[in-house]
Amino acid sequence: MNFPLNISISKLAHKVCVMGLGYIGLPTAAVLATNGFQVIGVDVNSSIIDTLNNGDIHIKEPGLRTMVQGAYKLGNLVAQSDPEQADIFFICVPTPITSAKKADLGYVIAAAEAIVPFLRPNNLVVLESTVPPGTTTNVVVPVLRRSGLTVSNGAGPTDLFVAYCPERVLPGNIIKEIIANNRIIGGVTPEAAEQAKAIYKRFVEGDLYLTDATTAELVKLSENTFRDVNIALANELADICEELGVDVWEVIQLANRHPRVNLHSPGPGVGGHCISVDPWFLIEAASEIARLIKLSREINDERPLVVVDKIKEMTKIIPDPKVVILGVAYKGNVDDVRESPAIHVIRALEKAGYRLGIVDPHVRSFPWELSGVEEAFSGADLVVLLTDHEKFRDLLPEKLGCLMRKRQLLDTRHFLDHKSWRESGFLVVQLGSGRE
């Protein structure tokens, strides 16, 4: 299909191929489908395709099931293993990190290669995956050029538009944020940015800011690095406060009364597939310069071991100790365990010979066996809260304490109601508080 130059792609484009149906691709596909686009969702995992085509979803995310089912009902969404010709292609695949802390672009390259046979003049290709700076222009565009199309300014008869538009949604609030958040759109050419803007305008209520592709890649990495560095600062302050016998949580709360201060929260470490990974892409791009970023990563990566040391201290005189782990998801109210600090805590405790009772009401699949609450608390000597799931607020310390051998709580997130746990006979220790 060749569009006359003066007609925007957005006015004609209806058919979209979304490559990757994970945490970003599936919600994006569903939002597009409920906003008038005909969407082909593509994933290499055939069990995901089967699940979706059977009317179910493979991810737990508020509002997602209703939206996907609505899209299916409209007849605007199908899931399949291979792409096909479309007006627009979104690439929403993971970018894992290798053991050498380098970006693994295998999925991005494979997705770009998969669409090459289906590309036609005036198509728009948008990469949403988080990638090292320069990836769209230097890695993706050369693959797309294998189609024989040119990536240029829209004046030629064989032009392809390519843009980078990072996803910025918060797991747990994805659907709302896909629609509400401001977006940064980086075009490989200014024309590509304009074309992408016209498409995002059809389903995004936030503001759309245009720039070039490499700047947009750096914007995304800077956002998550900002958070990682600030969490590292909070974690360092927690250790300092503990050393000085001060409660870091009170310090943070009071410091944040300053109009220009926003200290983040310390905790058991930084998990998830974003903040614990993305800063490495900046370090990879400029390893000599990115000193603060690297140190912050190291500080946050060491947090699970700080938790383990605390656990050892609290159980050192107990024979054959049993520990209850409350929460294995990387943060509250999600089912995602990728890069979760809990994995490192559990691995170290297991190695040290601890008996464990692991509880997580949100997580369905985890490398270690999960127990029911009462089974986990039975005969235990210490409860360690790792994840701030709202459901944990409903635990009854008085009742659960009766099941335990010793009543101790280590709250790594300043989350539970310590007064009621203390009143039920628990010794309560908080990470980052030099006081009991």
Q: Which of 187, 272, 327, 401 binds ligand SAJ (CB under 6 A)?
A: 272
Query: Which residue is closest to ligand SAJ by CB?
Result: 274
Q: Which of 150, 152, 265, 420 binds ligand SAJ (CB under 6 A)?
A: 265
Binding mask 154-173 for ligand SAJ (x = CB under 6 A): -------------xxxxx--
Residue 146 in contact with residue 137, Cβ under 8 Å? no
State the number of binding residues for ligand SAJ (CB under 6 A).
20
From 54-62, 135-143, 222-230, 319-327, give the range in contact with ligand SAJ by CB under 6 A: 222-230
Q: Which of residues 99-138 bind ligand SAJ (CB under 6 A)?
A: 130
Nearer to ligand SAJ, 170 or 261 (CB): 170
Q: What is the residue type of 232? A: A
Closest separation in Å from C-beta 302 to ligand SAJ? 13
Q: Report d(CA 23, CA 92) in Å as an integer.
A: 9
From 77-85, 210-218, 264-272, 395-403, give the range in contact with ligand SAJ by CB under 6 A: 264-272
Degrees to nearest 5, angle at CA 207 with 203 and 209:
110
| Residue 343 token pair | 């994995």
Integer angstrom CA distances of residue 426 from 3, 398, 418 = 70, 9, 9
Laid out side by side, the sheet with 322-326 consists of 355-359, 322-326, 382-385, 408-411, 427-430
Closest separation in Å from C-beta 310 to ligand SAJ? 16
| Residue 192 token pair | 């590509």
Residue 362 in contact with residue 324, Cβ under 8 Å? no
* Residue 274 sits in the site that holds ligand SAJ (CB under 6 A): yes
Q: Report d(CA 268, CA 348) in Å as an integer.
A: 14
Catalytic residues, by residue number, are 220, 274
Q: Report d(CA 131, CA 164) in Å as an integer.
A: 10
Backbone Cα Rg of the chain: 24
Q: Are strands 77-80 and 355-359 parallel, antiparallel or unpaired?
A: unpaired
Nearer to ligand SAJ, 167 or 335 (CB): 167
* Residue 20 sits in the site that holds ligand SAJ (CB under 6 A): no
From 241-249, 267-275, 361-369, 372-380, give the range in contact with ligand SAJ by CB under 6 A: 267-275
Q: Are strands 183-187 and 322-326 parallel, antiparallel or unpaired?
A: unpaired
Nearer to ligand SAJ, 269 or 357 (CB): 269
| Residue 90 token pair | 């979104």
Task: State whether residue 40 is helix, strand or coil.
Answer: strand
Nearer to ligand SAJ, 330 or 421 (CB): 330
* Residue 178 sits in the site that holds ligand SAJ (CB under 6 A): no
Q: Which of 72, 97, 101, 223 binds ligand SAJ (CB under 6 A)?
A: 223
Strands (E), 289-365: 322-326, 355-359
Binding mask 315-344 for ligand SAJ (x = CB under 6 A): ---------------xx-------------
Closest separation in Å from C-beta 228 to ligand SAJ? 8
* Residue 9 sits in the site that holds ligand SAJ (CB under 6 A): no
Binding site for ligand SAJ (CB under 6 A): 130, 167-171, 223-224, 227, 231, 264-265, 267, 270-272, 274-275, 330-331
